[in-house]
A and B are shown apart, each in its own frame.
Chain A
Amino acid sequence: MKNNRKIPITRVNKFFSEEDFNLEVDFGREWLEGDINIKVILFQVLQGESSTDDIYGEAGRNEIRFKAPVELTVNFQMETPKNESWNPDGSLRHLEHGNLTLGIYQSHLDELGAEINYGDYIGYAETEDKMTYWTVSNNGIITSDNSHTMIGYKGFYRTVTCVPAPEDEFKGI
């Protein structure tokens, strides 16, 4: 629960501090944004403004409203495309994009004033003229586990998983 009182973090303070933490984050971001520089586009859905039907709360392809798209620099992993069939008997084959796993620095999101919610959309430019969309299935908002902290000091990045968005669900840009 959020608390107005500030609690000093004294964990591992014998050899680690807030300055060290920020420095390590800066190193990491320099590598991610300066060297790797893989970008995705975040579409934050405006739940209150998207026109939905009263009963099911569903919106059509052109009815989803979102904030101004935000470009995020991420640690990008896409799974192998899935070779599947629509029918259980194996007929009507289709090749589906694999899920996305994105590593995003929390400080990057804070600077952009962006938040990733369950159901937001992620666009990835596969080629110069083709944008593909995923929808967020886990926004990774809890970052206090071991792997998301820097030697147990504080969480500093999120792991966001996304699944392919059906083409008739989201139009994008």
Chain B
Amino acid sequence: MGLPKNYRKNLKITPTSEGFQARQNILNNIANPGTYLPKSILHEDMDRDFIKYVEGELELVLGGEKVPVIFLSIQRWAEFARTWKFSDEYKNITMPFITIVRKPDAQIGTNYAGKFNVPGKPTFTYMKIPTWDGNIKSYDIYKIPQPVSVDLNYEVRLFCTRMRDLNIFNNSILRSFAEGEKYLRINGHPIPLMLDSIGDESVISNLDEKKYYVQLFTIKMLGYLLNEDDFEVTPAISRGIQFFELTEKVSSAPYQINKVEEEGLVEINLTFFPSINNSSIPIEFNVEFSEIITQNIIEYEVFLDDVLQTLPFNSLIGQELKINILKSVPTSSSTITLKGTFS
């Protein structure tokens, strides 16, 4: 009896995170536990994890034996140190084997799709950590720079003598890149790999040479560099003090001159706003002042060219009239009116 339709054979028992929670999980993976900062990622980290990827996920087992993966650099004895376990009596490495060569020219990265970047290498707030020194509660601000993108190009070659061995490895590679790209978690950072090309360097056409297959996989890593030496931890502002300073000279009192020339009368009105207690006015005509009316003023002094005056007094053109007051309510405005006649 067949299974009924719509019968689910694979049930996801463990819930998977989505949306914000999934993004938060990625951030949590990047963060280095206990430091509140992300793990740094450098060339060595990317090389190390690429080798692990080839050794692990692309592991090739032929005839029950794991095919060795050899990462090569230029020191001759180091090359021999890597290969002697798999070599014959003439110290030649025996097939099959896989080699990884990283091209030395790490290129400017295309992780940001070649866009321009923030200039000046500023650091950005990554996390705020509360601190307590016994008296003051404050924060430390953890800041990191924008990562520097870098492209690393790897050449993975399989050397073997059988087509069926080629097929197995080729199958592993194509399955790994079936989605178009393959992500590696390098120090928690998700770094994509792109399969650039698959080439053939097999030595099979020359009848007078040893024949063997060489399949070349060119893989580009769209990585970025984040150096922990560039991280900054700075204390945040924990306490602010505001200072205010007031001066009586910041402004003067506005005044208004009313003249009734037919009757020969003149009137000067001054308004002293809060915090203003004195003012000076240039005299533009000859006047004999005979009356002063005040509002919200306890005391006042009137000077002409710094000479104290009492009513009545005469002023001449060009003199300076200076008035000092003492308010009864300092936070309110005061007015003073000087009345007189043209002389």
Chain A residues with CB under 8 Å of chain B are: 1-2, 45, 47-48, 50, 52-59, 64, 117-121, 135-137, 139, 141-142, 169
> A53–B75 Cα gap in the complex (Å)?
12
A50 touches B90 (CB 8 A): no
- Interface CB pairs A-B, < 8 A, 27: A1-B89, A2-B89, A45-B80, A45-B81, A47-B84, A50-B77, A53-B44, A54-B48, A55-B51, A55-B71, A56-B71, A57-B79, A57-B82, A58-B75, A64-B77, A118-B76, A118-B77, A118-B80, A118-B91, A119-B76, A119-B80, A119-B81, A135-B76, A136-B76, A137-B76, A141-B91, A142-B90
**A-B CB proximity, top 6 nearest:** A119-B77, A119-B76, A47-B81, A57-B78, A45-B77, A118-B80
- Chain B residues with CB under 8 Å of A50's CB are 77, 81
Give chain B's interface residue range (CB within 8 Å of chain A): 10 to 19
Most buried by B among A55, A58, A141: A55
Q: Is B310 an interface residue (CB 8 A)?
A: no
Task: Among A2, A56, A58, A117, point to the contact of B80 (Cβ < 8 A).
Answer: A117
B39-67 interface with A by 8 A CB criterion: 44, 47-48, 51
B81 touches A57 (CB 8 A): yes
What distance in Å separates the Cβ of B93 from its nearest Cβ neighbour in chain A? 11
Q: Nearest chain-A residue to B77 (Cβ)?
A: A119
- Chain A residues with CB under 8 Å of B76's CB are 118-119, 135-137
Chain B residues with CB under 8 Å of chain A are: 44, 47-48, 51, 71, 73, 75-82, 84, 88-91
A52 touches B78 (CB 8 A): yes
Contacts A1-B89, A54-B48, A55-B48; A135 near B77 (Cβ below 8 A): yes
Q: Nearest chain-B residue to A169 (Cβ)?
A: B75
B80 touches A55 (CB 8 A): no
B77 touches A47 (CB 8 A): yes
> A53–B82 Cα gap in the complex (Å)?
12
A141 touches B90 (CB 8 A): yes
What distance in Å separates the Cβ of B178 from its nearest Cβ neighbour in chain A? 28
> A58–B78 Cα gap in the complex (Å)?
6
Contacts A117-B80, A118-B80, A119-B78; A56 near B73 (Cβ below 8 A): yes
Known: A56-B47, A57-B75. 12 other contacts (CB 8 A): A47-B80, A47-B84, A53-B44, A55-B48, A55-B71, A56-B71, A56-B78, A58-B78, A119-B76, A119-B77, A119-B78, A135-B76
Contacts A2-B89, A139-B91; A57 near B80 (Cβ below 8 A): no
- Chain A residues with CB under 8 Å of B75's CB are 57-59, 119, 169
Q: Nearest chain-B residue to A141 (Cβ)?
A: B90
- Chain A residues with CB under 8 Å of B79's CB are 57, 118-119
What distance in Å separates the Cβ of A100 from its nearest Cβ neighbour in chain B? 14
Q: Nearest chain-B residue to A57 (Cβ)?
A: B78
A117 touches B77 (CB 8 A): yes
- Chain B residues with CB under 8 Å of A136's CB are 76
Most buried by B among A57, A137, A169: A57
- Chain B residues with CB under 8 Å of A1's CB are 88-89
B81 touches A52 (CB 8 A): yes
> A147–B81 Cα gap in the complex (Å)?
30
> A48–B81 Cα gap in the complex (Å)?
7
- Chain A residues with CB under 8 Å of B80's CB are 45, 47, 117-119
A117 touches B91 (CB 8 A): yes
- Chain A residues with CB under 8 Å of B81's CB are 45, 47-48, 50, 52, 57, 119
Contacts A117-B91, A142-B90; A57 near B71 (Cβ below 8 A): yes
Q: Nearest chain-B residue to A116 (Cβ)?
A: B91
> A139–B77 Cα gap in the complex (Å)?
12
Q: Nearest chain-B residue to A48 (Cβ)?
A: B81
- Chain B residues with CB under 8 Å of A47's CB are 77, 80-81, 84
> A1–B94 Cα gap in the complex (Å)?
13
What distance in Å separates the Cβ of A104 from its nearest Cβ neighbour in chain B? 16
> A135–B47 Cα gap in the complex (Å)?
27
What distance in Å separates the Cβ of A86 from its nearest Cβ neighbour in chain B? 16
Most buried by A among B78, B79, B80: B78
> A47–B75 Cα gap in the complex (Å)?
12
